[in-house]
């Protein structure tokens, strides 16, 4: 959340929208978590909220990073990185599948492939928007922050690999089902 607020102040609802698109690439959270966490971060002085009155919408509380929040981010980056825990239902299904499960498994992999395609298309749009006409090289050498572009690159590479893997698995499944 602190990292997301670097891109500008936001209310809980707006943050949850950001998480749906760009941030979901590397961090997922439900709106409920965000609201709870905002209270805590404000209590710890890492963010500061103010009420913005709106005419035709319910009022909202907009949160901005404080100086302490920025320092917390620097400290976080300097800390040892926790190893990432992977938990993927689809791989469990694949691991456990026997002959009778193959058609259901095939369907699950087609869905995963479709999701990967959609994410890839989304990332490509975000990338074009982020570059805004400049070349990748220009953006990376001259831009202020290279982070958002490189995380997006990571997301794209991840989904491309995902597609290749789905293709390989579907290939095997079709041979097993068909032949």
Per-residue H/E/C for 104-162:
HHHHHHHHHHHHHHHHHHHHHHHHHHHHCCCCHHHHHHHCCCCHHHHHHHHHHHHHHHH
How many residues bind a second copy (CB under 8 A)? The answer is 61
Closest CA to 120 of 165, 162, 159, 166: 159
Residue 83, interface with DNA (CB under 7 A)? no
In eight-state DSSP terms, residue 179 is -
Identify residues 117-136 at the interface with DNA (CB under 7 A).
none
Residue 43, interface with DNA (CB under 7 A)? no
Residue 98, CA atoms < 13 Å, CB-side half-sphere: 1
Residue 17, interface with DNA (CB under 7 A)? yes
61 binds, among a second copy, DNA, none (CB under 5 to 8 A by kind): DNA
Alpha carbon distance 12, 145 (integer Å): 24
Residue 30, interface with DNA (CB under 7 A)? yes
Residue 56, interface with DNA (CB under 7 A)? yes
Which is closer to DNA, CB of 41 or CB of 169? 41
Sign (positive/negative) of CA torsion 91, 96, 98, 104? negative
74 binds, among a second copy, DNA, none (CB under 5 to 8 A by kind): a second copy
How many residues bind DNA (CB under 7 A)? The answer is 23
Q: Which stretch binds DNA (CB under 7 A): 5-13, 69-77, 118-126, 143-151?
A: 5-13
Residue 51, interface with a second copy (CB under 8 A)? no
Residue 27, interface with a second copy (CB under 8 A)? yes
Residue 11, CA atoms < 13 Å, CB-side half-sphere: 12
Name the packing angle between helices 102-131 and 147-178 (round to 10°). 160
Q: Which residue has the tokens 């690999």?
A: 161
Site residues, DNA (CB under 7 A): 11-14, 17, 28-33, 35-36, 38, 54, 56-61, 85, 87
Site residues, a second copy (CB under 8 A): 2-3, 6, 24-28, 73-74, 76-78, 81-98, 100-101, 104-105, 108, 111-112, 115, 140-141, 145-148, 150-151, 153-154, 157-158, 160-161, 164-165, 168-169, 172, 175-176, 179
């Amino acid at each position: 959340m602190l990292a997301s607020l670097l891109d500008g102040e936001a209310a809980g609802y707006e943050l949850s929208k950001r998480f749906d698109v760009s941030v979901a690439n590397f961090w997922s959270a439900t709106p409920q978590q965000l609201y709870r966490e905002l209270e805590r971060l404000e209590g710890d002085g890492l963010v500061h909220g103010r009420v913005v009155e709106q005419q035709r919408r319910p009022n909202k509380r907009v949160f901005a990073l404080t100086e302490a929040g920025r320092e917390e981010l620097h400290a976080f980056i300097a800390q040892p990185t926790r190893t990432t825990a992977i938990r993927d239902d689809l791989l469990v299904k694949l691991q456990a599948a026997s002959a009778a499960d193959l058609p259901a498994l095939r369907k699950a992999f087609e869905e995963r492939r479709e999701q990967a395609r959609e994410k890839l298309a989304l990332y490509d749009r975000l990338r074009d928007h982020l570059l805004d006409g400049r070349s990748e090289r220009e953006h990376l050498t001259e831009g202020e922050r290279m982070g958002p572009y490189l995380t997006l690159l990571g997301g794209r590479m991840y989904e491309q690999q995902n597609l290749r893997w789905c293709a390989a698995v579907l290939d095997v499944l079709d041979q097993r089902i068909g032949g």
